[in-house]
Chains A and B, each alone.
Chain A
């Protein structure tokens, strides 16, 4: 008897990605550059987040032609994004055989209240989170992997740092609570009580948590690993830089050897210009993608 789509199989897939870099790509050529550079997976998109910002309008699931093109080009896993709450986009991606679905705030939400009930699917999901409340709600909905939201497409690491620190410090705080204090913590954070008890016991989330949203340099990737990320997503950072292949390789190495500063210094030399990046205060509230779900 064999069983597909179990928690172990779905969460285990994310465990295999640990210490690695997942790169956004928009065509087969970029996917091959990413694979060649040592990416552990690629995210197939129609546009990288920086271009989604620039284009405006409604951002939807990518054209299946692009997803298929990327799936045919590489042997590493292929992820794709569905709009938050868009059950049909997610089912289409699952039917196409993508390896992971990102229910992502980078796309325009289809549902402003409810997320997809992800444990109904055989394909695993990754979701963004900013704090332990969002993290545990997504896990209980069936997410098999988490990532910080950061602020996508800005090339500015500040929000990803904020979200990673927030979650780590909430886990430490939870561990300091007496058992009879956990219920109030659950109420205040809108977090499932039993999941909090499990996290309190283990001292970690029950799924892998990657950093995402604003990583633009090898040092950014190393910073996020230092803060406790299990790996990194790089969206616009690679293919918006001057020398994507070299940039991609440097970010992969900085993620593996995140505490070897001499090495990170070496591989940061002569990389050319990173993506330009944006200051957070220049974003209006409706331009902040991280606010799109809770």
Chain B
């Protein structure tokens, strides 16, 4: 059975667990770095990126998560998770994990009153996907290796680079599990190839 961890320091981790389980994998909340050894893929959920980053530092997660990714194990970042994965953050010198070749802008669509939901097509994953954007970031630019999966109003809101997946909206807040299912498949695939 494929086991997917959801980083459970702060934010909407319970919803992600529900979504992972609905997609046919086992979901576990990860609160200690030692737990990374027991999982095949990791989801970094939405929440407040500055709060999650502080707890990542405090509990010494930064290098272990980088190492997890460098072993070829898939990581999916949603909203705050996307910010944490990025290699460049507009207006900030403080890059977090830096695993994905993307440049992000925080709170890019504005404050909470500008938060919205909209239907998107996610390339190769889902058409007419209801995406919930909450004080969301967007991706301003991607590297050559990064594939753009979805745009809203011209801005990149979902991307994939090998075994890294990121989106600026919250797939865990709806009952449409197609994007999480896509990640579960990525994890199953990597599990097979890492076992060889």
**Is B8 an interface position by the 8 A CB rule?**
yes
Output the least CB separation between B30 and chain A (Å). Answer: 12
Instruction: Please tell me which stretch of B45-53, B65-73, B179-187, B188-196 contacts chain A, meaning at least 4 of its Cβ atoms lie within 8 angstroms of it.
Output: B45-53
| A12 in contact with B134 (CB, 8 Å) | yes
* Residue numbers in B under 8 Å from A15 (CB-CB): 12, 15, 46, 173
Q: List which A61-80 residues lie within 8 A (CB) of chain B.
A: 75-77
**Is B123 an interface position by the 8 A CB rule?**
no
Query: Do A19 and B118 contact each other (CB < 8 Å), given the known contacts A8-B132, A9-B134, A252-B51?
Result: no
Q: List which B34-92 residues lie within 8 A (CB) of chain A.
A: 46-48, 50-51, 54-55, 58, 79-80
| A256 in contact with B10 (CB, 8 Å) | yes
Task: State in angstroms the CA–CA spacing of A293 and B196 once bound together.
Answer: 64
**Is B106 an interface position by the 8 A CB rule?**
yes
| A97 in contact with B58 (CB, 8 Å) | no
Task: State in angstroms the CA–CA spacing of A20 and B152 once bound together.
Answer: 29
Residue of B nearest to A38 (CB): B54
**Is A268 an interface position by the 8 A CB rule?**
no
Residue of B nearest to A255 (CB): B10
Q: List which B101-153 residues lie within 8 A (CB) of chain A.
A: 106-107, 111-119, 132-135, 152
Residue of B nearest to A74 (CB): B50
| B10 in contact with A18 (CB, 8 Å) | yes
* Residue numbers in B under 8 Å from A9 (CB-CB): 115-117, 132-134
* Residue numbers in B under 8 Å from A175 (CB-CB): none
For A, the interface residue count at a CB cutoff of 8 angstroms equals 38
Q: List which A215-257 residues lie within 8 A (CB) of chain B.
A: 252-253, 256-257
**Is A3 an interface position by the 8 A CB rule?**
yes
* Residue numbers in B under 8 Å from A18 (CB-CB): 10-14, 47
| B173 in contact with A100 (CB, 8 Å) | no
* Residue numbers in A under 8 Å from B13 (CB-CB): 18-19
Task: State in angstroms the CA–CA spacing of A174 and B152 once bound together.
Answer: 43
Give the contact-size bracket for chain B.
35 or more
**Is A170 an interface position by the 8 A CB rule?**
no
| A3 in contact with B55 (CB, 8 Å) | no
**Is A189 an interface position by the 8 A CB rule?**
no
* Residue numbers in A under 8 Å from B2 (CB-CB): none
**Is A41 an interface position by the 8 A CB rule?**
yes
**Is A13 an interface position by the 8 A CB rule?**
yes
| B54 in contact with A20 (CB, 8 Å) | no
| A123 in contact with B106 (CB, 8 Å) | no
* Residue numbers in A under 8 Å from B163 (CB-CB): none
| A13 in contact with B112 (CB, 8 Å) | yes
Task: State in angstroms the CA–CA spacing of A275 and B118 once bound together.
Answer: 46
* Residue numbers in A under 8 Å from B8 (CB-CB): 19
Output the least CB separation between B61 and chain A (Å). Answer: 12
Task: State in angstroms the CA–CA spacing of A242 and B79 once bound together.
Answer: 36
* Residue numbers in A under 8 Å from B165 (CB-CB): none
**Is B96 an interface position by the 8 A CB rule?**
no
Task: State in angstroms the CA–CA spacing of A231 and B170 once bound together.
Answer: 20
| B112 in contact with A41 (CB, 8 Å) | no
Task: State in angstroms the CA–CA spacing of A15 and B47 once bound together.
Answer: 8
Interface core residue of A20, A35, A38, A76 (most chain B CB under 10 Å): A38
**Is B178 an interface position by the 8 A CB rule?**
no
* Residue numbers in B under 8 Å from A12 (CB-CB): 12, 115, 132, 134, 170, 173
* Residue numbers in B under 8 Å from A6 (CB-CB): 116-117
Task: State in angstroms the CA–CA spacing of A23 and B112 once bound together.
Answer: 18
| B118 in contact with A97 (CB, 8 Å) | no
Interface core residue of A3, A8, A77, A100 (most chain B CB under 10 Å): A8
| A1 in contact with B119 (CB, 8 Å) | yes
Output the least CB separation between B87 and chain A (Å). Answer: 19
Shortest Cβ-Cβ A-B pairs, 4 listed: A99-B112, A38-B54, A2-B118, A40-B48
Task: Write the residues of chain A forming the contact surface with B, with a CB cutoff of 8 angstroms.
Answer: 1-6, 8-9, 12-13, 15-20, 35-41, 75-77, 94, 97-100, 122-124, 252-253, 256-257
Q: Known pairs A13-B134, A38-B10; list 9 more (Cβ under 8 Å).
A: A4-B116, A12-B173, A13-B115, A16-B11, A16-B12, A18-B14, A36-B54, A77-B48, A77-B111
Task: Write the residues of chain B forming the contact surface with A, with a CB cutoff of 8 angstroms.
Answer: 8-15, 31, 46-48, 50-51, 54-55, 58, 79-80, 106-107, 111-119, 132-135, 152, 170, 173-174
21 contacting pairs across A/B (C-beta < 8 A) = A1-B118, A3-B117, A9-B132, A9-B134, A12-B115, A12-B134, A13-B115, A15-B12, A16-B46, A18-B10, A18-B11, A20-B51, A35-B50, A38-B10, A75-B107, A76-B51, A77-B112, A77-B135, A97-B111, A98-B111, A256-B10
